[in-house]
Amino acid sequence: MITLSSETAWLCLAVTAVLGGLVLYKLRKSPGQVGRNMVCLAGLWGVVCLLSLPLFWGFVLFSLSCFLLYIYLSGQELLPVDQKAVLITGGDSGIGHALSKYLDQLGFTVFAGVLDDRGPGAEELRRTCSERLCVLQMDVTNTQQIKDAYSTVVQKLQNRGLWAVVNNAGILGLPAEGELIPMSHYKQCMAVNFFGAVEVTKTFLPLLRKSKGRLVNISSMAGGIPFLNLAAYGSSKAALTMFSAIMRQELSKWQVKVSIIQPGGFKTGILGTREMLEKLEKDMLDHLTPDVQEEYGQEFILVQRKWLSNISWFSSSDISPVLLDVQHAISAKSPFTLYAPGSGAYLWLCFFSFSPTGIFDYFNKKLYNFGVKIPRALSTSN
């Protein structure tokens, strides 16, 4: 067993302190939650090393870990803004609206694509943001509007490339069991959440290749986890997640980096207004066949909306974790492939990925079916 002289012990302590200080310094320049999680794991690892190994080797292993973490965090330093240009879709409200304001405050040249360039969200962006921000009329399901937006961006940027595209525009539709959701709702979710993002990406990729910039697609936890009542929304986000993974590999030869954001529960307005939900609910009832209505029962069908209150209960009104992760994705020297902002989001993804299917299904049903009635046919048979 190796014993330490006082001089060697002080030297080990000094080296460890210096490396730890460098790690903390690098951490301050890295926004978002991932870097902080890494430091917490490094601290836990250090305690394990010092308690389970002889003192000398504990210091050596922990110092080596700090050095490797320092190298890792060096890649997370943010590049200077230098008025880099960023296109954001879905800027009318929610994450897209807040992100447009946030990046404008940081000094980026922001192109905010909106569904209605005369709506309250667009007017607020014009009123509160700097002259660098440009509001673009861009319904992501309208090919001509996407082309017009591209022409406007090219005209304003002149010979500069577009640094980043953030595909944020998305809709939730009506949360309900997959059999009850009309085909029109499935198609609308795919049109906005997937095909719209694909067309925007394909249209603006020449500008991203020129700048060797970033493509950031905002998906959802529902794109990686089979949450109940989200068959339409989750399927469209899963398609976007897979598209991002493939594009990340294909665009690497152009030095364009691709990241996917899978946020947890945040209150962004994507649930829609009461009037919108009532319209979607009526549309669902109108498209159900008589035998399906008889099997499920109208009471069960109408109580589906209660699921939204459960979602709201688990959602946070503070969307700053999403904004910080998007900033990191478009600004870091080496952005991450996947970001999962939000309380418990990453744990949920890990739980689904590594737990047996039966265990996940049990907890998923318990969580999302709490207080929900069963279909009429099943209640009658029971």
What is the C-alpha radius of gyration for the chain, rounded to an integer number of angstroms?
A: 24
State the first-to-last Cα distance of the chain, in angstroms, to the nearest integer: 69
Nearest Cα to Cα of residue 320 among 6, 64, 32: 32
Nearest Cα to Cα of residue 59 among 118, 4, 133: 4
Give the number of other Cβ atoms within 10 Å of residue 357's Cβ: 9
**Which residues are known to be catalytic?**
233
Three-state DSSP class for 251? Answer: coil
Q: Please, are residues 137 and 192 in contact by the beta-carbon 8 Å criterion? A: no
Give the number of other Cβ atoms within 10 Å of residue 191's Cβ: 15
> Rounded CA gap, 355 and 374, in Å?
27
> Rounded CA gap, 310 and 229, in Å?
12
Q: Please, are residues 89 and 168 in contact by the beta-carbon 8 Å criterion? A: yes
Q: Which residues pair with 251 in a beta bridge?
A: none
**Residue partners of 75: CB distance under 8 A and separation at least 6:** 332, 333, 334
Q: What are the tokens at 267?
A: 């209150």
Backbone angles phi, psi at 87, to 5 degrees: -100, 130
Identity (one letter) of the amino acid at 118? R
The single residue listed with the structure tokens 């904004």 is 323
The single residue listed with the structure tokens 């492939």 is 337
